[in-house]
Amino acid sequence: MSSPFQALVFDLGGVVVQHDNAVLFTRLASRCAPAWGMAEVGALFRQNRWETGAPIRDFHAQLQAEAGYAEPWEIFLDDWCCHLAVDPSMLALMGGLARHNRVVIFSNTNQEHWDFVLAASGGAFAAYEPYLSHLIGHGKPAVRAFEVVAEQAGLDPARSIFFDDKPENVEGARQAGFQAEVFQDEAWLRGFLKEKGVRV
């Protein structure tokens, strides 16, 4: 039985990778000057679009210069990835899907986070045609980001489906012509795919 979709395209964070930016910003703030709390670190972080290729070393330098963060790069890397964890059940589901379907990843990320989750997946994510915002130079929810993924992957958006936990990213995908759904949880996804006739 052939797949009803040309490709199943998955976001990572909030879908296959658990993440909580509050944990990240709290960890970073704990190493900064007393006036810097989670909110202040988060505001500094949001001054740049790190997911589209700005070097994360620049954020480390900003924290050192402006917030009193005194730790070297190696410690910063541990802090920078402290909020990430691969969901083993979802990873196994992706593996099952890939036996009968084309599975693609499209994630807003940076090189350091990608390196971490790739290692945490035992290298499995590399097999799922990863399209990463910091490498393609475009991030969700921009319509152009989805267009670039479709172009580079050779996808017909109308015959492919995208899953993301953020409604604004799903809307961006739909505007680019993809079928797209807001990811709820694994049980929902299994039920949705079964209803659509996707082999799991």
- What are the pLDDT digits (tens) for 92-143? 999 999 999 999 999 999 999 999 999 999 999 999 999 999 999 999 999 9
C-beta neighbour count of 167 within 10 angstroms: 11
Element (H, E) at 181: strand 179-182
Instruction: Kindly tell me if the per-residue pLDDT of 1 is higher than 60.
Output: no
Instruction: Kindly tell me if the per-residue pLDDT of 158 is higher than 70.
Output: yes
- Burial of 74: CB neighbours in 10 Å, binned 0-12, 13-18, 19+: exposed
Assigned token pair, 170: 């799903």
Sequence-ordered list of residues with C-beta below 8 angstroms from that of 75, at least 6 positions apart, any chain: 31
Q: What is the DSSP letter of 129?
A: -
Band of pLDDT at residue 60, cut at 50, 70 and 90? very high
Of 125, 75, 78, 102, the C-alpha closest to 9 is 102
Assigned token pair, 3: 């797949």
Of 8, 145, 22, 18, the C-alpha closest to 85 is 18
Which residue segments constitute the domains of the chain, with CATH numbers given? 7-19+85-196 (3.40.50.1000), 21-80 (no CATH)
pLDDT of residue 160: 98
Average pLDDT, the chain: 97
Band of pLDDT at residue 197, cut at 50, 70 and 90? very high
**Mean per-residue pLDDT for 33-53?**
96
- Residue with tokens 């964890």, as numbered in its chain: 85
Assigned token pair, 42: 């988060």
Instruction: Kindly tell me if the per-residue pLDDT of 181 is higher than 70.
Output: yes
Say how far apart CA 27 and CA 82 lie, in whole Å: 8
